[in-house]
Structure 1
């Protein structure tokens, strides 16, 4: 069974999935959402869960540098709670401090253009979140 990793933002959700053994994370896609209009992409996530036989979901939890949880962290927790209700899968929250910055740094070092970086940054951040979780399980 695979693990799904999500980087939840206000406009997009980066999606990554583990291999069948739970060793490596691969960025899958970026889903556009709109919090104000209550469009959260749950239908697409449901398809991904079914297609990949997902057994667990890891949601990135953005904490402030002092460890407290701010508005974005609360939004991620809400998202995770909704996923748990809809799909009946366990949701694990993973401290995602600096993952988007790390993804940006990797893409800059690879000399990826600004336009392409914008297209892949969220799914790459999701892969970093998921890989951090997978590594902690070994």
Structure 2
């Protein structure tokens, strides 16, 4: 989650449910609680910027978010977000990587006041 006024991102939750219906229900509950104005989705690519299988999956997920919740979605290059964090695996790296992706959005796309 992030604060657009302060331009600060912080980890909120990791949604690891299996199955789209449960996953989107959990996202819906977070939307109801936090009332976001947009989604920021990381867009993975090869180091040279070319797309791969996960690129298409993330674009599909972004389209589903927009379609289900009628909020704008911004795709942000996530090639190096996980590299910023230690080589740990699991939820800890997932929520921090997501926070880094959101912070990158604030730093690159949101004008400072």
Shorter-chain TM-score bucket reads 0.7 to 0.9
Which stretches of structure 1, 4 residues or longer, exceed 6 Å deviation after superposition? Answer: none
| Match of residue 76, structure 1, among 58, 69, 84 | 58
Give 1:64's aligned residue: 46
Contact 1:55/1:89 (8 A) holds in 2: yes
Unaligned runs of at least 5 residues, structure 1: 1-16, 106-113
Rounded Cα–Cα distance in structure 2 between residues aligned with 1:25 and 1:94: 14
- CA separation of 1:75 and 1:22: change in aligned 2, threshold 3 A: farther
Q: Which one has a larger percent strand, Structure 1 or Structure 2?
A: 1
Unaligned runs of at least 5 residues, structure 2: none
| Match of residue 92, structure 2, among 107, 120, 124 | 120
| TM superposition score normalised by structure 1 | 0.72
Rounded Cα–Cα distance in structure 2 between residues aligned with 1:40 and 1:94: 25
Q: Show CA shifts across 1:55-92 (max 9, x none).
A: 10010000111211110111111111000000000101
